[in-house]
């Protein structure tokens, strides 16, 4: 069974930092691209960042470019999102997603709340 467990969320002040982690199990982590998507309270889904299986060629939404960094440790089956210079508008539930593969669709984690407030 595929499991994706996010951690590291919580309350941060504007301008502060947080690092999210997503620990994966139930599939060969190093074979899949991984993605972060967020959902602000009462709003729709918003793509944040994606990373290839090998960890090269990350991509970012314009709203987080230069502030967030996605990375992965395939030896630890873990995906990261380093969030710096946080803004109030970054407040959201952040979801870790395993991208589609051979005959399997995207798999979602349960999400982790990040609140940015003074």
The residues of the shown chain that bind other proteins, judged by CB under 8 A, are 35, 37, 44-47, 49-50, 59-61, 95, 100, 103-111
CA distance 114 to 83: 10
Of 16 and 58, the one with the shorter C-beta distance to other proteins is 58
Distance of closest approach, residue 3 Cβ to other proteins, in angstroms: 12
Contacts 24+ apart (CB under 8 A), 54-63: 54/30, 63/89
Of 7 and 16, the one with the shorter C-beta distance to other proteins is 7
Residues 6 or more apart in contact with residue 21 via CB below 8 angstroms: 6, 7, 8, 78, 79, 80
Of 12 and 33, the one with the shorter C-beta distance to other proteins is 33
Of 105 and 118, the one with the shorter C-beta distance to other proteins is 105
Distance of closest approach, residue 84 Cβ to other proteins, in angstroms: 20
Determine the distance from the C-alpha atom of residue 90 to the mean position of all C-alpha atoms in its chain, rounded to a whole number: 13
Distance of closest approach, residue 111 Cβ to other proteins, in angstroms: 5
Q: Is the sign of the CA dihedral 35, 20, 107, 55 positive or negative?
A: positive
């Amino acid at each position: 069974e595929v499991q994706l467990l996010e951690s590291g969320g919580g309350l941060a002040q504007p301008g502060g930092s947080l690092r999210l982690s997503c620990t994966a199990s139930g599939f060969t982590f190093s074979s899949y691209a991984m993605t972060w998507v967020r959902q602000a309270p009462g709003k729709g889904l918003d793509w944040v960042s994606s990373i290839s299986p090998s960890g090269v060629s990350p991509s970012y939404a314009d709203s987080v470019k230069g502030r967030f960094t996605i990375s992965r440790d395939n030896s630890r089956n873990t995906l990261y999102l380093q969030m710096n210079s946080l803004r109030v508008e970054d407040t959201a539930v952040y979801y870790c997603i395993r991208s589609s593969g051979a005959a399997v669709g995207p798999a979602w984690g349960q999400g982790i709340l990040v609140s940015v407030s003074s």
